[in-house]
């Protein structure tokens, strides 16, 4: 007998949902994703004020982002293993409670060391959130709408990047950076109440049902998806992290806010399209996104100093990027089930940090003009792997769906 993907997943991971999307609990999960990203990235929008408030350099204040990302990447596998038996909603509530405490401490503390300690704790909590979101979305939705449920849940990511961080920066200018972090702590507490009321409880895994997380690497398609994630995230973060020096090198420094706005709007549009199509067109969406990003990079190699071509490239980049969290989360869960999720979290966050490091090396050694070339060098193998992974990883028809 052939073993199917569904056979490899314990019973409690299967959806127990009506034939429509339960929007109220899914939107609570979307908000959890929004808060995880905003808690991580808000220091970037208030960096000078935050550095002054803690009496450290801006470079040192910037490490509040680094320690968060590294904690998320390195803790995903051990923390998921250690909490495998916990009830799932209780685990989510603990993670969001850590966001609340960490943001409150950041708002009140003048100690750099104390702030960094709680930022590390928040990064570990984010690993829990990312490991649980997709599994929860799949359980809550009927099989033919699971991709759409994941898309809705993961919409919190581009919304936080395109709207939340600029709003946080605006509020920081208006009320001060400490008040902004305090507001985030309050929102986290309200989110805990929302999750408690709206999101159903699911049991953890019993000892005999736990499968080694690393064993998911042996399942067909998992390695192909993780490679695609690694290269895609590395390429994106080389360019996104250093978009300011790239624009300055091409005489476009005064257009930074407009560029980020166009990128954000295009990313949100991509999320909408991805949510509508991912259940039936995951492979097409992945190939199209990679092609759009590759074309954008090609335009930027030659025409970055032309405003029209620059904004066209940024729009294509946003369209190619916005749906990536949804398609990759869906693909890795189709291939490896819930136990592959921590592998995705580790890969995603490790290569996010790696993009910043590699981009810094490229900037120093070759200048900002090297970024689009680096993106193309990474996205070509992404496209090759996705096209080749027709049977497993990025199949034409997702497992478990009717033809």
- Tell me the pLDDT tens digit for each residue of 100-141: 999 999 999 989 999 999 999 999 999 999 888 878 888 888
What pLDDT, on the 0 to 100 scale, is given for residue 403?
Answer: 45
Print the SS3 string covering the chain: CCCCCHHHCCHHHCCCCCCCCCHHHHHHHHHHHHHHHHHHHHHHHCHHHHHHHHCCCHHHHHHHHHHHHHHHHHHHHHHHHHCCCCCHHHHHHHHHHHHHHHHHHHHHCCCHHHHHHHHHHHHHHHHHHHHHHHHHHHHHCCHHHHHHHHHHHHCHHHHHHHHHHHHHHHHHHHHCHHHHHHHHHHHHHHHHHHHHHHCCCCCCCCHHHCCCHHHHHHCCCHHHHHHHHHHHHHHHHHHHHCHHHHHHHCCCHHHHHHHHHHHHHHHHHHHHHHHHHHHHHHHHHHHHHHHHHHHHHHHHHHHCCCHHHHHHHHHHHHHHHCCHHHHHHHHHHHHHCHHHHHHHHHHHHHHHHHHHHHHHHHHHHHCHHHHHHHHHHHHHHHHHHHHHCCCCCCCCCCCCCCC
What pLDDT, on the 0 to 100 scale, is given for residue 174?
Answer: 82
Collect the ranges in the chain with pLDDT lower than 70: 1-18, 161-163, 165-166, 207-211, 399-403
What pLDDT, on the 0 to 100 scale, is given for residue 16?
Answer: 47
Question: pTM to 2 decimals?
Answer: 0.76
What pLDDT, on the 0 to 100 scale, is given for residue 209?
Answer: 58
Q: Note the pLDDT tens digit of each residue in 193-224.
A: 999 999 999 887 776 555 677 778 888 899 99
What pLDDT, on the 0 to 100 scale, is given for residue 207?
Answer: 60
């Amino acid at each position: 007998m052939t073993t199917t993907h569904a056979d490899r997943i314990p019973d409690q991971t299967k959806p127990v949902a009506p034939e429509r999307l339960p929007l109220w609990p899914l939107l609570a999960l979307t908000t959890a994703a929004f808060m995880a990203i905003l808690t991580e990235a808000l220091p970037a929008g208030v960096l000078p004020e935050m550095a002054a408030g803690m009496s450290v350099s801006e470079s040192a204040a910037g490490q509040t982002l680094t320690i968060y990302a590294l904690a998320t990447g390195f803790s995903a596998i051990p923390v998921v293993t250690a909490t495998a038996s916990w009830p799932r909603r209780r685990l989510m509530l603990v993670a969001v409670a850590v966001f609340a405490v960490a943001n409150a401490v950041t708002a009140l503390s003048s100690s750099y060391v104390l702030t960094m300690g709680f930022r590390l704790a928040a990064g570990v909590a984010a690993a829990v959130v990312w490991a649980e979101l997709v599994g929860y979305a799949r359980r809550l939705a009927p099989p033919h709408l699971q991709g759409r449920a994941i898309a809705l849940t993961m919409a919190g990511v581009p919304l936080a990047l395109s709207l939340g961080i600029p709003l946080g920066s605006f509020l920081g200018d208006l009320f001060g950076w400490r008040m902004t972090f305090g507001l985030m702590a309050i929102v986290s507490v309200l989110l805990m109440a929302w999750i408690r009321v709206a999101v159903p409880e699911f049991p953890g895994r019993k000892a005999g049902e736990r499968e080694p997380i690393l064993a998911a690497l042996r399942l067909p398609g998992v390695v192909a998806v993780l490679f695609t994630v690694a290269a895609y995230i590395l390429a994106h973060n080389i360019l996104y992290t250093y978009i300011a020096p790239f624009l300055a090198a091409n005489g476009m420094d005064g257009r930074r806010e407009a560029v980020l706005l166009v990128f954000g709007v295009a990313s949100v549009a991509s999320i909408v399209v991805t949510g509508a199509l991912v259940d039936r067109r995951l492979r097409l969406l992945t190939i199209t996104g990679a092609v759009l990003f590759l074309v954008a990079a090609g335009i930027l190699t030659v025409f970055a100093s032309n405003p029209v071509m620059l904004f066209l490239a940024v729009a294509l980049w946003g369209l190619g990027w916005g749906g990536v969290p949804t398609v990759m989360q869906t693909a890795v869960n189709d291939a490896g089930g819930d136990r592959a999720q921590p592998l995705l979290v580790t890969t995603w966050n490790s290569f996010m940090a790696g993009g910043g490091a590699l981009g810094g090396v490229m900037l120093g050694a070759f200048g900002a003009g090297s970024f689009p070339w680096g993106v193309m060098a990474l996205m070509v193998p992404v496209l090759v792997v996705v096209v080749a992974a027709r049977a497993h990883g990025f199949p034409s028809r997702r497992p478990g769906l009717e033809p």
